[in-house]
Amino acid sequence: MWPLLAASALAIGIILERFWTLRRSAVIPPALGEEVRAWARSPKLDPGHLDKLRHNSPLGEVLADVLLHRGRSREVMRQKAEDGGRQVVHQLGRFLNLLGTIATISPLMGLLGTVMGLIRMFLVINTAGIGDANKLAGGIGEALVATASGLVVALIAYFFHRHLRGVVLSLGVGLEREAILLVDSLERSSDAAPSSSDARTAR
């Protein structure tokens, strides 16, 4: 039971930490994408502002990677957005593999407790016979409690592992959408700049 208790405490800690970290408002601040697109239209970007954006949030980190390559081709900017987004999503999924491992091994730990309880029960039978019902009941109870505990821990860990995986996937889609919007905005700005220059030349 002690390993199961440790596994359940670790699973609860991971679940609470990930729920706090994966808040949508913290990963994708509502107004950040629009602010960055407006700021990116300025002729020159402040490096200090760019560094601050990178440390603002996971979305800020992805958008900063795009802005670092402003002025290059759309393919290059999209590739940098994908590379940055992949790293950010990997960080968002931190500890989820451990949570999945707990979901997998908890029934095995419960099964181990069951086997140990049955072994104790048969040792009691071997030494004292079948007349001591209390000792037999103790071994059977230990086996059943271990099995039930392992299954409960596994079910909770598995449910939240799947749920948090879905949250990470949804956030990844949101990050990709904001990065594409920024790339489109930068591409329109770069297309408009030569047109304005040509108009002034013609005059």
**Helix 58-67 and helix 47-54: axis angle, to 10°?**
140
d(CA 64, CA 50): 6
pLDDT of residue 185: 84
Contact 191, 71 (CB under 8 A): no
Q: How many CB atoms lie within 10 A of CB 202?
A: 6
Q: How many CB atoms lie within 10 A of CB 52?
A: 12
pLDDT band at 8; cut points 50, 70, 90: very high
pTM, to two decimals: 0.80
* Residue 65 tokens, joined: 């990677």
**Better pLDDT: 177 or 46:** 177
Q: CA-CA distances (angstroms) from residue 111 to 75, 105, 146? A: 53, 10, 7
d(CA 11, CA 113): 19
Which residues, in sequence order, are CB contacts of 136 under 8 Å at separation 6+? Answer: 121, 124, 125, 130
The pLDDT tens digits for 14-39 are: 999 999 999 999 999 998 988 888 88
The arithmetic mean of pLDDT across residues 166-175, rounded, is 94
**Cβ neighbourhood burial of 106 (10 Å; 0-12, 13-18, 19+):** buried
The pLDDT tens digits for 110-151 are: 888 888 877 777 776 767 666 556 666 666 777 788 889 999
pLDDT of residue 134: 65
pLDDT of residue 81: 86
